[in-house]
Amino acid sequence: MPTLFRLLAVLAVLCGLAYAAMWALANKVEPQQREITFTVPAEKIGK
């Protein structure tokens, strides 16, 4: 296998692994939901 094809094959495998990792994180991991409260300063409301 010539060097260019070997390089492209390695890059394709690495891209596939990165895509699989992103897919797994997006579909298998559920974020924890929590309530956040904070006060807004009065000078921010008037603008």
Q: What is the pLDDT of residues 1-47, one digit of tens each?
A: 689 999 999 999 999 999 999 999 999 988 889 999 988 888 878 65
Structure confidence at residue 47 (pLDDT) = 57
What does 4-42 look like in DSSP terms, one character per residue?
HHHHHHHHHHHHHHHHHHHHHHHHHPPPPP-----PPPH
The rounded radius of gyration (Å) of the Cα atoms in the chain is 23
Structure confidence at residue 31 (pLDDT) = 83
Structure confidence at residue 40 (pLDDT) = 86
